[in-house]
Structures are given as structure tokens and as C-alpha cells.
């Protein structure tokens, strides 16, 4: 066996990998020698990455590229002996070779045990004796990094022995359960249900219980609670937060593989309630506990705000908004009476909703609201779900607007910096930089009006997270359109809130349309569930048109033709399904291939088999607060590295590097499902009307209103008519959130 420090990942295929690195000992070849390692997926665990250390067994062979180990076993490892100094110097920020050497000279081979024990004072005294602030911080970073690595190494070995070979899962387990991960899994393997499919978790749990000699492992309480957790996990994945009793029983019986009357089903319900895995709701429903806590917290805070309509920050005294509005109109032009009434209604309450469809002037109205609140002495924080929406809001109001995820990230960063400054946990030379940084970060004060655009698309977790940063006195305005699809994430808030006329100002008069086939007019017909007037497609233009097509294959072919017509423009394709000839995956591959033919032909392959090249639009698959990207963020590839299998993409003007194992978070973005496209907009949108149970009025409405100038529908009017007869998507999403 030898220890390899990976310097490059040369190839990563479903059947195996080839990496290049340098030996850290002399068991096979001389220390420091460069060599390659070739390993089949069946004999290795996880995805190797640059900078990692791996233990490799195998046969040394000569190749035209130099020495190579054909591995018979390969696993990620922690270094031992003097190698630990190299690991600490290279992997832990701020340590470096000199500090790592000091630790080795002090503790020698006992260093791993010292790091695991975590005596911060002793470690700080060794690595930075003359830096009373920096020393403890470096020591804490060092101990945390070692514990995380040690936990992962032990966890990987434990999982490997039990047939779990996904390194991403191992890292998530380590992050979730921490230093005692293995012990936690040995006590209750079913706690993995939030990270792995139920079938795999249940098989592992039953096997471990049998090996441990447990009697009746099928009836283990941990298993029964795990089955309930799995049902709740599936529920939340649909966007719902509550379910009917009958639905719960059917799903739970399926997990446990028993009939409806089996005693094990009743025992699982009892264990689920007793352990807090499910909560009883109104009308014989069951609620997801975590979601229920968020729903209650959000509703309670909003009620407290709405029930105090005269509440105003102490430093903003009585203010005549009506007179200020008259002055605003003198300078900026008259508002429609409906818009004027909406402005005054919103400003009269610490919490309000502004509801309106396409073309009714929501941004024009919000600009007036912002101006009047600032005139009263307040400040405004603007946020929208997607980057384009934030940019549009910035331009329309003349004020900085951020994405919601960037806003939350900056608020978190502000809190961390403020805490460090208040506690004196910074070096004197670091303070000016941090104080300057605070000035550029999002801030919510008791005088702030927080305005969230496209609020109908914002999920419960995001609203809940935003509320945590709102001090008493801060106001909240949710602006949106209830006819949009519900959020991609779980929960339903805006759709429930706008039914309350006490807090909702409605805009209904359309001010932006040119003819009956214009986007606002067609959107209005779809809102009313009426067949819209659609013009024949004639290429680049404005409004909404129809390209007749029958069947998925014909829809796909004509869609490609329309895309080529509009090439060079800002174009987005929306489809109802991922699979099939006119599904998102096939369309993305076809459009990627067309793009590749017209460019340099260089591409890299992601973990799920998708190909990426420079110029491809991409979509982010999940919410990532660290990057400030959400599930549906749109970007574009600007560079690819074939050797490393990595790429650089720009999202909202900010560059993000995605390493090989991070490409799973990206997908091609030529075509999106409507849910993923919710927060996006494009000058021209092409909509595939492939018959699907997902087509309903809200799907059609959301798809068409993604377009700024032109929407092109491909399909037949029978499909369109059938979709308009379906109920709204929000009506079928059961949640526990109630208002008022």
C-alpha cells in the first residue's frame, strides 16, 4: 500500500477514475515520485478530488505516461506520523509549515490524539504564543478541521463495510451528526432516512439489527419512526406540509410493506406521534413537525405586525403620506387611482401584500411606495427571488435590489462580523476592513421597509429565514401574483395571505398591452381560465403566438426550428416534463449539440452525464446559501477545464467555480420545467405544450409571463383547453399555514 497526494483528476467515468499525484511515502516507489493511479469504481469509495490523500493498494506497472498503480483497493485517508505536518500545513487555513512543525515537535506521534481532545489553550500557546486573539481562533479552526476529517475517515470506513459508497452522503452525515456519527448510526441506522432512499436505509437497518441479534427487527421502534420520517420526507418534497389521515396511512403501509389493518401500521403511527415525527393538524390532517414550527412562527410574527397598524418606529413621527403622494405625482407623473389607493393602503400597515397580474404596474407602484417611505425618514431593503427580477426591480425603482439568497447571505455575514467586533475577536489591523465591509452588506433596522418581489414564488423556509433578521418596527411588503405556480420549495404563504382584504392591495387595471395577443392580454385570459386569442407564429416579434404541432416528437422538432429563428436573442424554453422527446433533458441535449457545432467543440461531462461547454446557459439545482444561489438560479458557463473536469459560470454578474464533484448542482439551462423557470425571465420564451397532468392554468400563466416581449406556444388548442379546465396548482397543495 502507498499514500498518494492527488494533484490532478485525469478521468472520471461511471466505471472508473484515473488520477495523477505524488507519493508521500516509499512503500511502492520513492517518496515524492509522480505517478498515476487507475481504479475501478467497484474497488474504491467516493469521488477523488485534488488535494486529498488516498491509501492505494495495487500493482505498479510502466506506461507511456510513466509509473502507474492499477489499484485493487483505494480509500481516502488521514496521514500519520510526520506526514501529518504536511496535511495540516496544506489543508488548514492559517497553519502553514512552520506552525505544523511546532506542533509535531511538541507532541510527536500523539498529535492526532491531542487534536481530537481539543485543548485550544495549549494548542494556541504553541502555534501563536504572541497573538492572544489570533491564536485561539487558529486553534479552534485546526481542531475543528481535524475532527471533521477524522470523523469522515472513520465514517467512510464504517459505511464502506456496509455497502454505502457515496462520499457526498458520508460528508452530509458527518455534517449532520458530527463527531459521534458512527456511534449514532450503530444505535439507530434509520436516522439516515433524511439522506438516503428509504429502501436502502431500511435494508441496512434490518441487516444490522439481525447481525446484532435483535428480536423482531421489523418491529423495532426506530424502524417505525424512520418509516414515518420517510413519509414526511416524501411529503415535503412535493411542496406540501400537511396530509390527510388516509394518505398518511397508505404511504406508511407502503414503506412498511404491510396492509392497512396490520398492527405494525398502528404501532408506527403511535411511535411517530410519541417521538414527534408527525403532528396532528386540523380536520383530521397530519403535519410535518419542522414545517409546522416554521408555519406557526411566520404566522405569529405576521399577525403581531398586522394587528398594530399604527406602529411606526420612534424616530419616524406622524407623516402625511397623502400629501407626500401628491407631491410625488407632481414630480414623477400621475398614478392610476387604483395604484394611488394601493400605495396609501400599503404604507398604512407594518405588513401588507401587493397583488397584481402582468401589466398592472406593480413596479410603478412599488417605486412610489419606496419614495414615500424614504421621505418619511425610513430606509428600504429590496429583494427578489431571481437575479433578473432583482435587476429589473433595481432599474424600475432606482435603488439597489438583491436576490433573496444574496440578501440572506449578507445578513448572516453582517451578524457574524458584528458579533466578532462586539466581542473584540479581531486583531486591531483587521477592524477597519471589517467596519468598511459592513457598509456594503444588507441591513434591516427598525426603520426599514423590506420589500420582497415575486413573493408568490418564495417558499416558507425563505420567509422564515428573512423574519429572523427583522427587528421590531421593521415593515414587510410582499409583492406578487397569486396566479403563479406555488413555490418550488415547501409551504404556501403568499397564496394564503392575499385572500385577506385587510392586508392586501389589489391592482387589476392593465396599463401595458398593445393588442389582444399581447402578453398582458393573453395572461389576463389565462387568469380567467378563458381561451386566449393567439396569433400565428411569424418569427421574431411581440406578443403571444401559436405553432400548431401534434405529438411530442413534432413539438420538439418545431421547437428547435423556432429556437433557431430566435437564436442570438435572450431565449428560454419551458417544458412540462423532464423526460420524453419534448422533455427538458432531450431538448437541452439537442440545443447543447447545436451550440457546440457553432463553437469550439470542447465540453466536459458532469456527474449525471450532462455535457457543458463555454456559452451554455446553466441552472442551479438546489438552494445554496453559501454561494447565494437558489434552486432555479440561471447562469452561463464562461470557462471549462477539461483536465480538472471543472467549470466557471457567471450568476448575476458573480463568478462561481464548480469542481468536478460539484457539477451535480448544475444542469443545462436552455430548457427548464416551469417550476425551475419560476424566478427567471427572458425576452422571448418558447413553451412546449406537451400533454401532461402538470398542465393547469397556473402552469400556462407562469410560462407565458416569463416572457418580456414574446411568447411562442407549440402544441394544439385541445391541450390548451384541457389545461384551462384543471384546478389551480396552489389549490392542490395542502399546508398547515393558516391566516388570519
Q: HEC string of 649-696?
A: EEECCEEEEECHHHHHHEEECCEEEHHHHCCCCEEEEEEECCCCCCCC
Which residues lie across from 21 on neighbouring strands?
A: 6, 35
In this model, does residue 64 exceed pLDDT 80? Answer: yes
Are 4 and 28 a contacting pair, CB within 8 Å? no
How sure is the predictor about 172, in pLDDT bands with cuts at 50, 70 and 90? confident
Least confident of 175-179, 386-390, 437-441, 483-487: 175-179
Q: Which residue has the cell 396490520?
A: 262
- Phi (first) and psi of residue 4, to 5 degrees: -120, 130
- How do residues 489-535 score in pLDDT, each as one tens digit? 999 999 999 999 999 999 999 875 555 568 988 999 999 999 999 99
* Helix pair angle (362-375, 337-347), 10° resolution: 40
Give the alpha-carbon dihedral of 674, 680, 684, 688, to 10 degrees: -10
Using alpha carbons only, give the angle 461, 465, 467 rounded to the nearest 5 degrees. Answer: 120
Bridge partner list, 53: 5
Give mean pLDDT, residues 663-672.
Answer: 93
Residues with Cβ within 8 Å of 495's Cβ and at least 6 positions away in sequence, in order, are 456, 482, 486, 730
pLDDT at 388 over 80: no
- Residue 684 contacts residue 570 (beta carbons within 8 Å): yes
Mean of pLDDT over the chain: 88
Cα(284)–Cα(519) distance, rounded to whole angstroms? 43
Kindly tell me if the per-residue pLDDT of 269 is higher than 90.
Answer: yes
Report the alpha-carbon distance of residue 125 to residue 142 in Å, rounded: 13
Residue-level length of the chain: 740
Q: 76-80, 146-150, 226-230, 371-375: lowest mean pLDDT where?
A: 76-80
Q: Is the pLDDT of residue 486 over 80?
A: yes
Is the confidence at residue 249, as pLDDT, over 60? yes
- The Cα 643–Cα 628 span in angstroms is 27
For residue 564, pLDDT over 60 is answered with yes
Is the separation of the CB atoms in 352 and 477 below 8 Å?
yes
Percent of the chain with pLDDT strictly greater than 70:
94
Distance, first Cα to last Cα, the chain: 67
CA distance 417 to 229: 37
By the 10 Å C-beta count (0-12 exposed, 13-18 middle, 19+ buried), 226 is classed as buried
Would you call 510 exposed, middle or buried from its count of C-beta atoms within 10 A (0-12, 13-18, 19+)?
A: middle
Residue 81, pLDDT above cutoff 60: no
Total-model pTM: 0.77
More confident residue, 424 or 724: 724
pLDDT in tens, 204-219: 899 888 888 888 999 9
User: Residue 468: how many CB atoms within 10 A of its CB?
Assistant: 12
Beta strands in 238-391 (DSSP E): 242-244, 279-280, 285-287, 351-356, 379-384
C-alpha 320/C-alpha 334 separation (Å) is 18
Residues 6+ apart with CB under 8 A from 557: none
pLDDT, position 311: 47
Count other C-beta atoms under 10 Å from residue 310's C-beta. 8
The percentage of residues in the chain with a pLDDT greater than 90, rounded to a whole number, is 56
The torsion angle over the Cα atoms of residues 27, 33, 38 and 41, rounded to 10 degrees, is 60
pLDDT confidence bin for 150, thresholds 50/70/90? confident
8 A C-beta contact, residue 55 and residue 77: yes
- Please answer whether residues 678 and 702 qualify as being in contact, where contact means their C-beta atoms are separated by less than 8 angstroms: yes
Query: What pLDDT, on the 0 to 100 scale, is given for residue 588?
Result: 95
- Bridge partner residues of 105 (DSSP): none
Residue 286 has pLDDT above 80, yes or no: yes
Q: Is the dihedral of CA 285, 288, 292, 293 positive or negative?
A: positive
Please say if the pLDDT value at position 46 is more than 70: no
Whole-number Å distance between alpha carbons of 657 and 639: 9
* Residue 147: pLDDT band with limits 50, 70, 90: confident
pLDDT-derived band at 27, boundaries 50, 70, 90: low
Cα separations (Å) of 193 from 46, 162, 183, 206, 275?
A: 20, 15, 16, 13, 15
Q: Note the maximum CA span of the chain.
A: 86
Say if residue 35 is preceded by a cis peptide, omega within 30 of 0. no
Report how far residue 703's alpha carbon sits from residue 681's, in angstroms, rounded to the nearest whole number. 10
Greater model confidence, 358 or 445: 445
C-alpha cell belonging to residue 50 = 485534488
What's the rounded Cα separation, in Å, for the pair 649 and 618? 8
Mean pLDDT, range 436-456, rounded to an integer: 94
Residue 481 has, within 13 A of its CA and on its CB side, a CA count of 25
pLDDT value of position 92: 81
Give the least confident one: 30-34, 150-154, 310-314. Answer: 310-314
- If one compares 690 and 116, the residue with the highest pLDDT of the two is 690
User: CA-CA distance, 241 to 734, in Å (whole number)?
Assistant: 6
Q: Are 485 and 514 in contact (CB under 8 A)?
A: no
Helix (H, G, I), strand (E, B) or coil at 737: coil
Question: Would you list the DSSP string of 192-259?
Answer: GGGTS-HHHHHHHHHHHHHHTT-SSGGG-HHHHHHHHHHHHHHHHHTT-SEEEHHHHHHHHHHHHT--
Determine the pLDDT at residue 152. 72
Amino acid at each position: 500500500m502507498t499514500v498518494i497526494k492527488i494533484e490532478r483528476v485525469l478521468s472520471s467515468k461511471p466505471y472508473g477514475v484515473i488520477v495523477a499525484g505524488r507519493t508521500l511515502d516509499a512503500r511502492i516507489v520513492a517518496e515524492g515520485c509522480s505517478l498515476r493511479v487507475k481504479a475501478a469504481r467497484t474497488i474504491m469509495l467516493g469521488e477523488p478530488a485534488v488535494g486529498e490523500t488516498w491509501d492505494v493498494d495495487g500493482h505498479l506497472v510502466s506506461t507511456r505516461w510513466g509509473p502507474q498503480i492499477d489499484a485493487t483497493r483505494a480509500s481516502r485517508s488521514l496521514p500519520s506520523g510526520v506526514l501529518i505536518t504536511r496535511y495540516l500545513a496544506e489543508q488548514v487555513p492559517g497553519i502553514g509549515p512552520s506552525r505544523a512543525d511546532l506542533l509535531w515537535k511538541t507532541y510527536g506521534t500523539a498529535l492526532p490524539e491531542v487534536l481530537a481532545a481539543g485543548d485550544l489553550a495549549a494548542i494556541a500557546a504553541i502555534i501563536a504564543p504572541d497573538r492572544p486573539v489570533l491564536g485561539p481562533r487558529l486553534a479552534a479552526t485546526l481542531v475543528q478541521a481535524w475532527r471533521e476529517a477524522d470523523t469522515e475517515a472513520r465514517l467512510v470506513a464504517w459505511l464502506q463495510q456496509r455497502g454505502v459508497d457515496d462520499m457526498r452522503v458520508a460528508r452530509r452525515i458527518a455534517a449532520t451528526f458530527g463527531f459521534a456519527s458512527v456511534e449514532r448510526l450503530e444505535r439507530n441506522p434509520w436516522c439516515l432516512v433524511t439522506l438516503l432512499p428509504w429502501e436502502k436505509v431500511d435494508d441496512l437497518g434490518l441487516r444490522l439489527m439481525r447481525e446484532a441479534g435483535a428480536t423482531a427487527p421489523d418491529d423495532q421502534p426506530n424502524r417505525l419512526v424512520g418509516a414515518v420520517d420517510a413519509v414526511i420526507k416524501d411529503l415535503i418534497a412535493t411542496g406540501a406540509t400537511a396530509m390527510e389521515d388516509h394518505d398518511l396511512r397508505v404511504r406508511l403501509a407502503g414503506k412498511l410493506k404491510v396492509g392497512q389493518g396490520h398492527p405494525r401500521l398502528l404501532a408506527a403511527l403511535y411511535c411517530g406521534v410519541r417521538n414527534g415525527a408527525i403532528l396532528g393538524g386540523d380536520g383530521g390532517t397530519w403535519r410535518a413537525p419542522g414545517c409546522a414550527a416554521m408555519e406557526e412562527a411566520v404566522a405569529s410574527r405576521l399577525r403581531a405586525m398586522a394587528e398594530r397598524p399604527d406602529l411606526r418606529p420612534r424616530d419616524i413621527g406622524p407623516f402625511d403620506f397623502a400629501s407626500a403622494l401628491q407631491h410625488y405625482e407632481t414630480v414623477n407623473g400621475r398614478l392610476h387611482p387604483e395604484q394611488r389607493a394601493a400605495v396609501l393602503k400599503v404604507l398604512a400597515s407594518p405588513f401588507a401584500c401587493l397583488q397584481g397580474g402582468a401589466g398592472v404596474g406593480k413596479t410603478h407602484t412599488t417605486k412610489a411606495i419606496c419614495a414615500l417611505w424614504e421621505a418619511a425618514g425610513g430606509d428600504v431593503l429590496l429583494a427578489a427571488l431571481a437575479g433578473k427580477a432583482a435587476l429589473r426591480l433595481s432599474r424600475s425603482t432606482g435603488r439597489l435590489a438583491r436576490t433573496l439568497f444574496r440578501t440572506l447571505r449578507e445578513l448572516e455575514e453582517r451578524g457574524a462580523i458584528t458579533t466578532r467586533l462586539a466581542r473584540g475577536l479581531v486583531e486591531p489591523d483587521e477592524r477597519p476592513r471589517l467596519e468598511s465591509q459592513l457598509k456594503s452588506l444588507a441591513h434591516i433596522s427598525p426603520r426599514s421597509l423590506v420589500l420582497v418581489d415575486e413573493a408568490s414564488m418564495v417558499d416558507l423556509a425563505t420567509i422564515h429565514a428573512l423574519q429572523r433578521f427583522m427587528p421590531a418596527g421593521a415593515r414587510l411588503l410582499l409583492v406578487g401574483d397569486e396566479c403563479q405556480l406555488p413555490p418550488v420549495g415547501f409551504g404556501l404563504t403568499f397564496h394564503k395571505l392575499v385572500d385577506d382584504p385587510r392586508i392586501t392591495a389589489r391592482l387589476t387595471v392593465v396599463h401595458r398591452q398593445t393588442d389582444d395577443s399581447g402578453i398582458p392580454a393573453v395572461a389576463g385570459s389565462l387568469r380567467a381560465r378563458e381561451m386566449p386569442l393567439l396569433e400565428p407564429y411569424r418569427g421574431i416579434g411581440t406578443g403571444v403566438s401559436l405553432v400548431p404541432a401534434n405529438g411530442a416528437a413534432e413539438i420538439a422538432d418545431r421547437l428547435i426550428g423556432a429556437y433557431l429563428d430566435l437564436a442570438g436573442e435572450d431565449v428560454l424554453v419551458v417544458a412540462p416534463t423532464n423526460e420524453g422527446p419534448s422533455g427538458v433533458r432531450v431538448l437541452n441535449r439537442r440545443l447543447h449539440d447545436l451550440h457546440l457545432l457553432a463553437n469550439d467543440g470542447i465540453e466536459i461531462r458532469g456527474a449525471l452525464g450532462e455535457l457543458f461547454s463555454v456559452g451554455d446557459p446553466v441552472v442551479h439545482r438546489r438552494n445554496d446559501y453559501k454561494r447565494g444561489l437558489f434552486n432555479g438560479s440561471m447562469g452561463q458557463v464562461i470557462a471549462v477545464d477539461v483536465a480538472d473536469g471543472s467549470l466557471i459560470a457567471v450568476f448575476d454578474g458573480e463568478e462561481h467555480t464548480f469542481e468536478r464533484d460539484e457539477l451535480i448542482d448544475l444542469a443545462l439551462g436552455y430548457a427548464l420545467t416551469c417550476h425551475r423557470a419560476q424566478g427567471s425571465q427572458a425576452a422571448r420564451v418558447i413553451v412546449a405544450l406537451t400533454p401532461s397532468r402538470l398542465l393547469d392554468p397556473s402552469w400556462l400563466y407562469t410560462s407565458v409571463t416569463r416572457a418580456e416581449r414574446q411568447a411562442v406556444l407549440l402544441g394544439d388548442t385541445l391541450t390548451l383547453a384541457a389545461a384551462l379546465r384543471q384546478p389551480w396548482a396552489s389549490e392542490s397543495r395542502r399546508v398547515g399555514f393558516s391566516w388570519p
